[in-house]
Structure 1
Amino acid sequence: MIKPILTLLLMALATGFIQRPEAWSQEINSYTHDEWTTDDGLPQNTILSVIQSHSGYIWLGTYEGLVRYNGTSFTVFDSRNTPALTNHAIISLLETTDSTIWIGTRSGLFSLKNQEIGLPDFSQRTQGRFIRSLAMGQDNELWVGTDNGLLQIRNGNVKEYRLSDGLISETITALTTGPDGSVWIGTPLGLIRLSDGQFFTYGLREGLPSLYIRSLVTDQNQTVWVGTSNGLARIIDREIEKAPPGLAPENPVITSLMSDREGGLWIGTDEGVYRFNAGLQSSFTTADGLSSNRVRSLFQDREGTMWVGTNVGLNTLRRGRFTVLTSAKGLSDDYTRTVYEAPDGWVWIGTSSGLNAWNPADNKIRQQFQGLPVTEVLSVASDEQGQLWVGTAGKGLYKGRAGVFSPVVYSSDQNGSVIRALLPSSNGGMWIGSTRGLYHYRNGQVSLFTNRNGTSNNFILSLAYEASGALLVGTSNGLNRLNPDGQIDMIRLPGGGLMSNVFSIYPEADSLVWIGTDAGLYLLKAEKVFRITTREGLFDDVAFQILDDAQGNLWMTCNKGIYSVSRQQLLDLVDGRRKSVESQAYGKTDGLKTSQCNGSSQPAGWRTRDGRLLFPTARGMAILNPAEKPTINTTPPPVVLESILSYNLPMAVSQRVELSPGIKRFEFQFAVLSFIEPEKVQCRYRLFGYDDDWIDARNLRQATYTNLPPGRYRFQVIAANNDGYWNDDGASVDLYVEPLFYQTSWFWIILVGFFGLLLTGGHFYRISSLKNSERRLAVLVNERTRDIVAEKQRSDEARESLREKSDALQVALTRLQQTQFQLIQNEKMASLGQLTAGLAHELNNPMNYILSALVPLKRDFDLLTSLVNDARQLPIPGLADALHLHDYDEILKEIPVLLSGIQDGAKRTEAIVSGFRRFARPEEDTPKKTSIADCFETTLSVIGGRLSPSVLIVKDFKPVPLVDCFPGQINQVIFNLISNAEDAMPHGGLLTLSISPKDENTVQFSVADTGEGIPEESVKKIFEPFYSTRQVGKGSGLGLFVVYGIVNAHHGTISVESSPGEGSCFSVTLPVRMQ
């Protein structure tokens, strides 16, 4: 019954349980890995069961409830939000073909259908039982394994199997079904097959490694795999075979099993997860990043991602484009610095903890080498004799063969020198790039090139030969060319500068040279240098290494990952045929353990003879086969409309949603159920009937609308997966926004009818009212006629009164002008201030009376005019003759003219009085900060009316600080000086008024004329009392004396500059602050 174990061993050897050369590319510890725990939203870390529903959600069973995952967030269902779910421990999950999710708990079976969780119709047969396992048989038949027997459920009918029916134990630990309708049943006491109503038992005698069956699965070849507490077995043709030796750990506890679409078998144990496929086995454990080695559940979703539930969280594994060689596979350290393929096919890898030799043929790695210290290796190269040269970080230079090395003395003082680049020379020597310059070593002879010889810098980072044979030397500050004749040239940028940190140099056969720096990618073409940066589309400005994949792309590394660019796009950009390039970036989602690549070493990347690309990173050596086309995710992502919120309150989601009247804001929340690189998922939505075009949701999974007009709409959301495959149908819902009562058609119909009735009734009422008014009008005509005659008499009296007031106002205005003239001529300015202030006060009262009386007078006149005009429309006998007799129309024309004249005169008088009041303001007890420019303007407003039109005024007012003074007195000073200047120019001239700062504490202002000037003998006496240059009787001789006194009282000075016939200039200086 049991097939010989030897057959399996021979098969294992034939298929290569000892890994084939390409085996490393299929190992799951090179897969991309993600994990989630309670820190990310899980209610509890033990993942007992995982499934994907028909809608696309991932469902998880935990000890603290049922969990739904949509790619961005977890939603937990428990008794707190789902009262029907009375038990939180979700042990098993299964979705049947009718889209019902069956939920097995510690205390019964529940179902989830149409978004509702509840008890099935047969719940009385399942409640209270520990539901350990679930399986689907033929015709949507449900098998339920409990701790108290096996249940078969078909079309709602329950059939129960107990010990009396042939079970060897009523505790059912695992279930699986076969295509022939048989059911395999795992128990703590052995395995059972139920076929055609008969039970067949399998135990240790039949070949089971243990009686305790923990998991069962049927693969695509119809092989039944049996996981026990002591290893794995399989059943072929209903006979048990033990798993081949070396498959999974020896005698492991098999906790879960899963068969993937590629024919691989996934094995969950207490020591990690394993995968067995085509004779190859690999594992993924906590050493590789698994959240826990105790695996509880396994599941593969539609996109091929493997979900691994453990005791300490949820994990996903999927094959990335890159595989990574790490310390877990034998490297001395994950921090790799340089990689080089020797002519014999061995790949030499320098790490921070020594040199490693990797043989891709058998995937073996060697770490220890005689004579070579365990230190950081930065550069590796082979010479023409086949010797391997190794440069270290401060520990010297070594060369050797067959794993035996010896130090190379290339300098008398080489301690601490870091060797970052090695390159064999054409004469059998070796170029050595160090931090102290460029060395050439050949048969013990050493030459040194430094900045003294013409290199731009001694810190050597990279070396390469041009097609011409010249040596290109990259430094931390510039690229140099060492010509065969020993001449060194610096390759400069178009502006004359130098490149910084030349990490890598890649010469092509056609004399093009690509140069990687920390400031962009450069191209040296026909002695011209072109620069390409992120502004032109590069993923990053750093290029530690440049590799050509022989497929038209250049690959570069940086601190943020690995990226590739089309070589032709780069050349087209340089030649001006395109404005930008497209970069493809790769990181952790593509299989890298870290995005950080390493540079400042040579080589910092390598293309092997079979075309693979090798890249040193901070967590292992990344390996890529560019000829191997990446797996494209062609599964359009399911799109689910999860909820509709109105003012943050959820609404029921159905095919048609109605919004109550008055809802101003609501939002749609949706999910895109693609779990491969969900950050690359694209999403668009549109509200048909409102949005003109599709709206990019970016990284949001909601759409908010406000103030939608009433009407019918359709909301649709579509999405594309990480590789751009769109689900153009997406999810949609019809939306009806109900109108408010006043937005409905019936409201407007009723409203129009109401207004129609209202207008009709109003019309008849108006006719009736007009007839009644006509009757009353005859009675009122006589009364109105008498009122009009009386009002005419009052109008005549008012007109006469207005004429009298106008005459009085004209007399007052004339007197006011005469008084103003007399006051201006008065040299005694002190009396002028008091007189002007009193006069302004006395004039202000009657002016207020006149102005206030004009308002009611005009109103009465308008009322009278309206009354007469209304009366004219009535058939009043004799009214027209009476109006004509008294020249009523002429009166109507005359009175507005009189009123306007009175108002204009009153306002003019009010302005003059206001000017007087400002000019002759009463002085305060203390000086106040005053603008000298305001004093000039106030004085000009008073005196401006008397200045001759032939006098041209020029103002030169510069910004000065406010001055402590008595403004009324300063007004008097300016008034006297302007008056004197005008008198000096009887035939007109130029009057210049100036203000300027003399220094930071003094302000100066002046009044200058172009008049007759003052004789020299008079200038000395000009400020004396009773001295005047005018004719006798034309002046008192006190004006400038008063001015002098005011200026002196303000601690200022006054001076005059004058010559006969050339005019005069009076200048006053005042301190900003009075002491």
Structure 2
Amino acid sequence: MKIAKIIQLLFFFTAALPASGQEVSDFTEQHYTSDNGLPQNSVMQLRKDKNGFIWMTTQGGLVRFDGTHFVTYNQSNVPQLAGNRIIELGLTGDSTIYFKDTSFKVFSFEQNNQTFVLNPHVRNRAVILQSPREQFDIVRNLLPQDRRRVESLFTAFAAQVIYHQVGSRGDGFLRIGDVGLLYLRNRKVTFLKTFEEAVMSFDKAGTLNSRLYFLGPTGRIACVDSAGREYAVLARTSGGGAPDLGPNSQFFQQGERLFLHTPDTFYELSQPVGGPSNVLICKPVLKTGNIGKVFCYLNLPESGIQVVGTGTNGVYVFKKKQFKTVRIPGTTNNFYSQHLYQNNGILTDLGVVLPGGTITSPPFPLGPRSGILVDKAQHVWTYRLTRYVEERGPDLQLIRKFHSSLAVAELAQTPDGNIWVNTFSGNLGKISGDSIQWLNLPRKVNTFAPAGNSSFWASDGKGLFLMDVGKATLQDIPEMKGREVRAFYYDKNKTLWTGTYGQGYYAVRNGKATALPLDRNGYLLVVHTFLEDKRGFMWMTTNHGLFKCRTRDLYDYLDGKAKSVFYYYYDKSNGFGNNEFNGGCDPSSVVFPDGKFSFPSMDGLVQVYPDSIIDILPDSRILIDKFVVDGKEKPFSNDLLLAPSFNRVEITLASPFFGLPENQLLEYNIKGLDDEWYQLNGSLTITLNRLSHGDYSLQVRKKAGFGRDNVRLLTKNFTVKPFWYQTWYAMLFALCLLAFSFYLVVKLRYHYLTQRKKQLEAQVRERTKQLEYSNKLKEKIALLLAHDLQSPLHFLNLLSDHVAAALEKDRLDDVRAGTSEIKKAATNIHAFVKEINLWTKSQQEGFFLSKRPFPFDDLAKELEEFFKEMLLFKNNSLEFINPGGWEIHTNREILKAVIRNLIDNSNKYTTGGHIRVELDKLDEKYLRLSVSDNGRGMSPAELSKINRRIENVLTTAGIEQSSRLGYQIIIDFVTRLECKLEVESFVGQGTTVIISGILPSQPNSTEAVLTDTAPPNFTTL
């Protein structure tokens, strides 16, 4: 019987040997510590929830990881926690995360992403936490006697309790502490084992197919079945060897899967189908090297990702490299043209790559970027830098070679077996015998691809055309004008796919080219090759990586059924040596008979089995993480109502994705604001400022993978309440107010028109008075001029006769005296007329009086000189007094005319008397000018007329036919100077005239500062 078992074991291992002899796949490693996201470097437990987040416990709190961002939950944002240390992490019935703190309080997350207490106290218990209402306590479910038996195992200290369900809920293995193991069935304890060693600790045991496996102190594996039988287990790798077990080996349970960890390798364990029960097959799934003490492990086969948490080194994320880079040692590994060789090899310009090795001996290397062709007979055609075209057999032995006058770029075979070549200078020719027949074509052929025996798709670097060299026809594709086409692919639907250098890629159907959409980074501006796989995907290489999309999606775009295409992007983290693939050569990609693809790059041949690729698609849900209004978080499980006075809304989103960031693009739109879709920033935060009142809908979308309708969409409605003045009742009030305002405006308008009418009537009356005043003034001026000028002119006439008579009698002394008197009379008449002219100007409408500073003493000297002889005639004296040496700021000519008239009046009515002109200070701001005499004075009647004229200046009331014209001028001039005139006179005692309100000149002032600027079209003086 024992011999039979041994034979069975040997047969099993022999059968298993060839089935799984491949090496562990290579992985890209991402390492996270407290330096780049973690709150603390001890990662104790790992779980993946229903939304795709990876959760981990640390000494610094609970951490959520979405592939890019870490979010930490500890006492800073979950104040109910007893501390930052999380001692247990698990999943509820719907795969929602729950966690336990050091006070044994269990928390979970509600719909608003806020924590709540799932269970107030779970200590020394194994509880299945389905929901807040549905919770199943394994121990309390036992019959009373068995429950007491189990509870007696618990000490005063909290014990680790781990339950492994086998069959119905409540049945299975129960691990208590580090040494206790029970099996429960039908609410009873079927057996209880207590081990001497700590073989039941959290990472030393696990279940697989209703058996519990554990690691002994030396690393040997043993098994306990549901009946309590214990036996040793043989661990064998899939290659027939044994894993390197030791005291530090660990088990990690993940659902029904069990993993083994040795010092640097993780294995997935399985039992052999039909094999012995005491054997475990250990399939290596990850080699890590030395990353420190491992505390937890998470394997995600659907994405090829494995996560390892360590005790002191943080967490590691390993992503499977799905591409293999093939290199030829001793070469540059900068590959261009390649061709399938002997069905399982690749022929390149640097050599041949075969499953068993490489060939780099002559004729290799060929010229860089030289054309390579393996024809239907498996003959190899190449071009050498020596300007020879060579034909070699399948064994690479030379058959023939012939000279080419031009440098050959590409070689291609048409369906009839003819071989065609083109040159770097744009010539096209056909190989005939041992020579090339070059064609004389109207266009250059920089790149070409056969479309028949004599027809070719070609590009001259400035467009695309289809030419038939047999019929001598050429058809341009107008949409491709100016495009440098370098790649051609003709699919089964007779669509020509063309890749350009810098202008994107196109599909040509029925003689019309359509541009396909680019990726968001614009890498598809340069496309080197097109390959379709068996699953209906199109593969394209670029200068910045490799792209894949569903061919059906491309046709949906061409047919107008879709507005975009989902591109899946691969970069060198997937196993490339370099992101830059090579093109501009033919062929630039190869498909092996077994479906494997090969692409040339600047660092090796990148090869992949497209059917075995595991794509990490962005198909997780889009979730709202936070909805913050003016710095305060708001619940968002239901529709939101925002106050109208809010200033800022920040919406933080989350959508876990562990692939390349280029493969997940989130866009958002605020329906009710505009129709534009905006790309989300790296922080996945939307910021809104001061929206007007109304209903809005936040929409966030992303392409979840291939297919035109494969879109994830999040919609969240919210309303911004109106201010009180934006409500309907405010609108009604405003309408009523508007009606009242209209009524009020009409009333006010009527009142305004009435008042305006009164104002116009008053203006008419004022104008009438002014006209009367003007007419009276003109009348008086005419009378006064006739009166005042009559005597001087009569005197001049008599004096002229006297001078003429004296001249006839030769009395020269009389002539001189007469002419002197004529001059004096003429001067007086001229001064009088000048004053009248000045006064007349001042009466005009729009008269502008300019004011400037000037010394008063200079004016006094002029007046003294003017009145010198007149004063002698009346035997009067004139005195000017200016104690402060004042300079005054006013109109000099007007003031001079006023003073001259006042002095003239004093001289007329004073004989043998004294005339005094004094300038002194009135107050802090103004000066005062007084002209006084000791002549005969005025009668009360005359003084009354003058004062009445002063009081009624510019009105007809002040104009009297018998009044003095001099005072008429003086009063008007003083008014124009914006000064005040006062006259005091007593009969026999003389007259005093005071002008107050004269401005002194400011010290250190410049003329530019004091010069008045007259408005245009004004009369100025």
**Residues paired across the two proteins, number:** 720
Judge conservation of contact 1:65–1:77 (CA < 8 Å) in 2: yes
User: Is residue 249 of structure 2 the alignment partner of residue 257 of structure 1?
Assistant: no
Does the C-alpha gap of structure 1 residues 525 and 209 become closer, same or farther in structure 2, counting only changes over 3 Å? farther
Between 1:536-545 and 1:755-764, the stretch displaced more is 755-764
Match of 2:846, SS state, is helix
Taking the TM superposition and a 5 Å limit, the aligned residue runs for 1:739-754 are 739-745=722-728
The structural deviation recorded for 1:793 is: 4.7
Question: Who is 2:570 aligned against?
Answer: 587
Q: Which residue in 2 is equivalent to 1:709?
A: 692
Task: Show the counterpart of 2:93.
Answer: 97
C-alpha distance in structure 2 between counterparts of 1:640 and 1:29, whole Å: 33
Match of 1:165 among 145, 148, 153: 153
SS of equivalent residue, structure 1 residue 245: strand
Counterpart residue identity of residue 407, structure 2: S
1:695 corresponds to 2:691: no
Which residue of the other structure, out of 758, 766, 773, is the alignment partner of 1:797?
773
Distance 1:440 1:684, change over 3 A: closer
Q: How does 1:690-839 map to 2 (within 5 A)?
A: 690-691=672-673, 693=675, 695-697=677-679, 701-723=684-706, 731-745=714-728, 792-798=768-774
Deviation of 1:185 after TM superposition, in Å, equals 1.8
Structure 1 residue 309, shift from structure 2 partner:
2.5
Quote the Cα distance in structure 2 between the aligned partners of 1:300 and 1:853: 99
What is the match of residue 882 of structure 2?
Answer: none
Report deviation, 1:666.
2.2
Cα distance in structure 2, aligned partners of 1:651 and 1:573: 41
In 2: Cα distance, 1:723 partner to 1:563 partner = 13
The one-letter amino acid of 2:189's match is Q
Q: Could you give the per-residue CA deviations for residues 8-43 of structure 1, whole angstroms, max 9, x where no partner exists? A: 6544543x34335xx86xx87267876655555333
Match in the other structure for 2:297: 298
Match for 1:437 among 375, 387, 391? Answer: 387
CA distance in 2, matches of 1:468, 1:297: 64
- Rounded to whole Å, the distance in 1 between the matches of 2:538 and 2:426 is 22
Q: How much has 1:278 moved relative to structure 2?
A: 9.1
Relative to structure 1, the CA distance from residue 601 to residue 672 in structure 2 (aligned partners, 3 Å threshold; closer, same or farther) is same
Cα gap change, 1:480/1:210 in structure 2, threshold over 3 Å: closer, same or farther?
Answer: farther
Shift of 1:59: 2.0
Task: For residue 178 of structure 1, report the CA deviation from its aligned partner.
Answer: 2.3
Alignment-derived partner of residue 176 in structure 1: 164
Quote the Cα distance in structure 1 between the aligned partners of 2:156 and 2:8. 32
Question: 1:580: Cα distance to partner?
Answer: 13
The change in CA–CA distance for 1:454 and 1:541 in structure 2 (over 3 A counts) is: farther
Report the counterpart of residue 51 of structure 1 in structure 2: 47
Question: For each residue in 1:231-277, what CA deviation from the matched residue of structure 2 results, as whole angstroms up to 9, or x when unmatched?
Answer: 656666555662541157321644453558xx875544441333457
Task: Report the residue type matching 1:96 in the other structure.
Answer: T
Relative to structure 1, the CA distance from residue 718 to residue 659 in structure 2 (aligned partners, 3 Å threshold; closer, same or farther) is same
Q: Displacement of 1:184 after TM fit?
A: 3.6
Instruction: Give the counterpart of 1:484 among 429, 432, 448.
Output: 432
1:68 aligned to which of 64, 67, 70:
64
Structure 1 pair 612/202, CA: closer, same or farther in 2 (3 Å)? farther
**Alpha-carbon spacing, 1:233–1:629, altered in 2? closer, same or farther (3 Å):** same
Does 1:666 find its partner at 2:649?
Answer: yes
- Partner of 1:945 in structure 2? none
Contact preservation (8 Å) 1:212, 1:228: no
Cross-structure match for 1:924: none
Residues 1:88 and 2:39 aligned together? no
Looking at structure 1, the residues matched to 406 and 654 of structure 2 have their Cα atoms a distance apart, in angstroms, of: 60
1:76 deviates by 1.3
Change in CA separation of 1:699 and 1:525 when aligned onto 2, cut-off 3 Å? farther
Is 1:612 aligned with 2:600? no
Change (3 A) 1:789 1:616: closer
Please give the alpha-carbon distance, in whole angstroms, between the structure 1 residues aligned to 2:464 and 2:221.
Answer: 55
Per the alignment, do residues 588 and 709 of structure 1 end up closer, same or farther by CA in structure 2, a change over 3 Å counting? Answer: same
Give me the whole-angstrom Cα distance separating, in 2, the residues matched to 1:583 and 1:729. 13
2:822 corresponding residue in structure 1: none
* CA offset digits 1:930-967 (Å, max 9, x no partner): xxxxxxxxxxxxxxxxxxxxxxxxxxxxxxxxxxxxxx
Which ranges of structure 2 fall in alignment gaps of 5 or more residues? 273-280, 478-484, 486-497, 507-522, 783-833, 850-1021
- Whether contact under 8 Å (2:380, 2:391) holds in the other structure is yes
Aligned to 1:272: 265
TM-aligned CA distance change 1:314 to 1:603, over 3 Å: farther
Larger radius of gyration: 2
Q: Aligned partners of 1:99, 1:852: CA distance in 2, in Å? A: 97
Taking a change above 3 Å as real, the CA distance of residues 726 and 299 of structure 1, as seen in their structure-2 partners, is: farther
Q: Which amino acid aligns with 1:246?
A: T
Between stretches 196-205 and 562-571, larger displacement belongs to: 562-571
Q: Which residue of 2 aligns with 1:193?
A: 183
Cα distance in 1 for partners of 2:269, 2:442 equals 59
Aligned equivalents of 1:161 and 1:93: distance in 2? 27
For residues 547-566 of structure 1, the aligned pairs below 5 Å read: 557-563=541-547
Quote how far apart the aligned CAs of 1:545 are: 6.2
**SS of 2:160's equivalent?**
coil
Amino acid across the alignment from 2:203: R
Alignment RMSD: 6.5
Q: Deviations over 1:833-865 (max 9, x none)?
A: xxxxxxxx9999999957763699xxxxxxxxx
Residue 645 (structure 1) aligns with: 628
1:664–1:723 distance in 2 versus 1, CA, 3 Å: same
1:440 touches 1:448 (CA, 8 Å); kept in 2? yes
CA distance in 2, matches of 1:694, 1:675: 28
Which residue matches 2:405?
Answer: 454
Does the 8 Å CA contact 2:595/2:609 hold for their aligned counterparts?
yes
Are 1:246 and 2:214 an aligned pair?
A: no
Of residues 193, 200, 203, the one that matches 1:214 is 203
> Is it true that 1:42 corresponds to 2:35 in the alignment?
no
Sort the Cα spacing of 1:802 and 1:464 in 2 relative to 1 into closer, same or farther, 3 A: farther
Structure-1 separation of matches of 2:639 and 2:704: 27
Name the CA distance, whole Å, in 2 between partners of 1:91 and 1:516: 68
Once the two structures are superposed, what CA deviation does each residue of 1:429-465 show, in whole Å capped at 9, x if it has no partner?
8645344433537799897656xx41136xx6x5444
Residues 564 and 226 of structure 1: CA distance in aligned 2, closer, same or farther (over 3 Å)? same
CA distance in 2, matches of 1:495, 1:211: 81
Deviation at 1:93, TM superposition (A): 1.0
Amino acid paired to 1:440: E
Give yes or no for contact 2:303–2:615 (8 Å, CA) kept in 1. Answer: no
Call closer, same or farther: CA 1:81–1:51 in 2, change over 3 Å: same
- Residues 326 and 607 in structure 2, CA contact (< 8 A), matched pair in contact too: no
Q: Do the aligned partners of 1:37 and 1:45 also contact (CA within 8 Å) in 2?
A: yes
SS at match of 1:742: helix
Cα deviation, residue 306, structure 1: 4.1
Specify the alignment match of 2:488 in structure 1: none
Is the contact between residue 257 and residue 267 of structure 1 (CA under 8 Å) also seen in structure 2?
yes
In structure 1, which of residues 528, 532, 535 is the aligned counterpart of residue 503 of structure 2?
A: 535
Q: Which AA in structure 1 matches 2:243?
A: P
In 2, are the aligned partners of 1:190 and 1:201 still within 8 Å (CA)?
yes
SS of residue matched to 2:626 = strand
Change (3 A) 1:437 1:522: farther
**Cα contact 1:30–1:324 (8 A) shared by 2:** no
Q: Which amino acid aligns with 1:48?
A: M
The aligned residue for residue 307 of structure 2 is: 308
Shift of 1:104: 3.8
Secondary structure in 2 aligned to 1:176? Answer: strand
